[in-house]
Amino acid sequence: MQRRSLLLAAGASLALPTVSAFAAAPKARVVIVGAGMAGTTLAKFLRLWDRGIAVTLIDRNPQYISNIMSSLVLTGQRSLAQLTYRYDALRQRGVTVVTDDVAAVDPVTARVTLASGTVLQADRVVLAPGMAFDSPAGAYDDQRMPHAWQAGPQTTLLAQQLAAMPAGGTVVLTIPPAPYRCPPGPYERACLLADWLRVNKPGARLLVLDANPDFVTEKDNFSAAFFGLHAGVIEYRTSVVIESVDAPSMTLFTNGGEVRADVINLIPGQRAGRIVSDTGLATANGGRFAPVDVLSYASTAAPLVHVIGDSSATTQPKAGHIANQEAKVCADALVRSFNGLALDPAPVTNSACFSTITQSQASWLTAVFQYDAASRSMVSVANASGASNGWSAGHFQDMNTWFNALMADSFA
C-alpha cells in the first residue's frame, strides 16, 4: 500500500449524504453506551450524516485516555495527558454526553437504566463498552501485577515499577490467548521495553510468556526483532498457560513451571464489556463476545441492540482503527434504516497499525476487509493488505501522523 494511502485510511468515511434535521421531534433516538474509539465515532457520524437523529453518549468517565500509543508512556516518551481526549466537539455537534454508569439495558424494549436511576428510552441502543478482563486464579492483585492494557492509572503504575526495578532485574510480560485487544500490541510493547531496558537497566531480562503457539500477527518483523535485534534481552516462550498467580511473592504458576520476576506485566484474558454479558448478548467464543450481523452490527439475538468495537465477535482484529471503521458501518446502517433505505450490501473496512520496534523505529501493518455474502462475514482482501519489510525511523514518524489523523476522525 502506498504510504499516502496508508496514512489517509484513518480519515476515510462512507460517502453518505447528510440528511437535514427535522424541526419537531427527532425521527429516532440512539443511545450509545461507551465513549471510546467506537462509541465516539458512531456519535459523531450519526450527527454528521443525519441531524434528525437524537444521539446520547454515555460513559462513566468524563474523558477518554487512548490505549493506542500508551506503551510509550512506559518509556517516558509520551504522557497520559497527551493521550487524553475530551467530548467537547461531540457536544458542539449536538450529541448529549452523559457521565454515568449503566445499570441495565433491556434488549427487547431498547431501554437503558443508568446508575443514577435515570431511564432512557431509545429506538436503538449501541453497546461499545470495550473489554472486560478476566482475573487469574490464585492471589491475583493488579496493583502488584498491572496489565496496563487500559490506559490510565495502570499505565502509570507499571511505569513506576519499571523505573524502580534494579539493573539486572527480570521483567515478565504475558500474552493472553487470542482474541484480545490489539493483536500486535503485546509484541510491540515487548520490543519497546527491551530497547528501554537495554539503555536504562543494563543486564535486565524480559521474559515473554505467550499463551498462543506463535506470533499472532506480523510474524516476520516480530521474530526478526525478538531473535535478532533484541535477542540479548528477550526470552520468548510459546504456549504458556498461566494456571494461577501469587502476587505477594511475584510468582506465576504455569504449565511450564514457576516463574518469578521483579516486575510482572500480566495481561489477562479478555471478553466483552460487562454490560454486554449482563444483557445476555455475549454468546460467541465460549460466551466471551457478542455475535453480530456485520452489515449493521445488530446483535444476532436482539435486533434493537448493536454491538461495536472490542466487544463484538467478528473476523476483524480488535483494534482502535477497526472500532472506528465498525462505528461508521453501523452509523451508515442506522441512518439508512431510519430513512427507509436498504442497507449497504457490501461494506468495506480498513485498518492500519504501527508497531514500535525500538524507541525511535516502527514497522507497520495494514488490512482491508470486504463483506462476503456466502459466509456473512468480513474477509481480508489479500492484495490490499500487507506489512512493512522491517522497521525504520520514517515509519515511526508516519505512526504519529496516522495516530493524529485517527484520533481527529473520532474525537474532533
pLDDT at 17: 37
Residue 171 has which C-alpha cell? 521483567
Q: Is residue 13 classed exposed, middle or buried when 0-12, 13-18 and 19+ CB atoms within 10 A define those classes?
A: middle
| Measured distance CA(271)–CA(134) in Å, rounded | 7
For 220, the 3-state DSSP assignment is: helix
Does residue 390 sit within a domain? no
User: In this structure, are 148 and 208 located in the same domain?
Assistant: yes
**Distance in angstroms between the alpha carbons of the first and the last residue of the chain:** 27
- For the entire predicted model, the pTM comes to 0.93
pLDDT at 290: 98
User: In this structure, are 252 and 196 located in the same domain?
Assistant: yes
pLDDT at 140: 97
Task: Read off the CATH number of the domain in which 307 is found.
Answer: 3.50.50.60
User: In this structure, are 174 and 256 located in the same domain?
Assistant: yes
User: In this structure, are 145 and 259 located in the same domain?
Assistant: yes
Q: How confident is the model over 207-227, as a mean pLDDT?
A: 97
* Among 320, 343, 366, residue at a domain's last position: 343
- Round the average pLDDT of the chain to a whole number and report it: 94
Does residue 247 sit within a domain? yes
Residue 278 in this model has a pLDDT that exceeds 90: yes
* Among 233, 266, 299, residue at a domain's last position: 266
Does residue 77 sit within a domain? yes
User: In this structure, are 22 and 100 located in the same domain?
Assistant: yes
Question: What residue type is 272 in one-letter code?
Answer: A
Residue 190 half-sphere exposure toward CB, CA atoms < 13 A: 34
Residue 150 in this model has a pLDDT that exceeds 50: yes
User: In this structure, are 86 and 143 located in the same domain?
Assistant: no
* Among 226, 243, 266, residue at a domain's last position: 266
Structural Rg of the chain based on CA atoms: 21
User: In this structure, are 252 and 274 located in the same domain?
Assistant: no
Residue 316 in this model has a pLDDT that exceeds 50: yes
User: In this structure, are 88 and 188 located in the same domain?
Assistant: no
Does residue 98 sit within a domain? yes
pLDDT per residue over 230-242, tens digit each? 999 999 999 999 9
Does residue 154 sit within a domain? yes
Q: How confident is the model over 387-398, as a mean pLDDT?
A: 97
Per the structure, how many domains does the chain have?
Answer: 2
Residue 387 in this model has a pLDDT that exceeds 60: yes
For residue 205, give the nearest of 159, 184, 236 by alpha carbon. Answer: 236
pLDDT at 24: 63
Q: How confident is the model at residue 105 (pLDDT cuts 50, 70, 90)?
A: very high
Q: How confident is the model over 138-143, as a mean pLDDT?
A: 97
Residue 385 in this model has a pLDDT that exceeds 90: no
pLDDT at 156: 98
pLDDT per residue over 333-363, tens digit each? 999 999 999 999 999 999 999 999 999 999 9
pLDDT at 11: 43
Residue 71 in this model has a pLDDT that exceeds 50: yes
| Measured distance CA(208)–CA(215) in Å, rounded | 11
User: In this structure, are 175 and 275 located in the same domain?
Assistant: no
User: In this structure, are 213 and 275 located in the same domain?
Assistant: no
Does residue 395 sit within a domain? no
Share of the chain above pLDDT 70, in %: 94
User: In this structure, are 128 and 277 located in the same domain?
Assistant: yes
pLDDT per residue over 173-191, tens digit each? 999 999 999 999 999 999 9
User: In this structure, are 70 and 26 located in the same domain?
Assistant: yes
pLDDT at 383: 87
Does residue 407 sit within a domain? no
Does residue 353 sit within a domain? no
| Measured distance CA(247)–CA(352) in Å, rounded | 36
Full residue range of the structural domain in which residue 143 is found: 135-266
Positions of E strands within 211-304: 234-237, 242-246, 251-254, 257-260, 263-266, 270-272, 290-293, 298-299
Residue 3 in this model has a pLDDT that exceeds 90: no
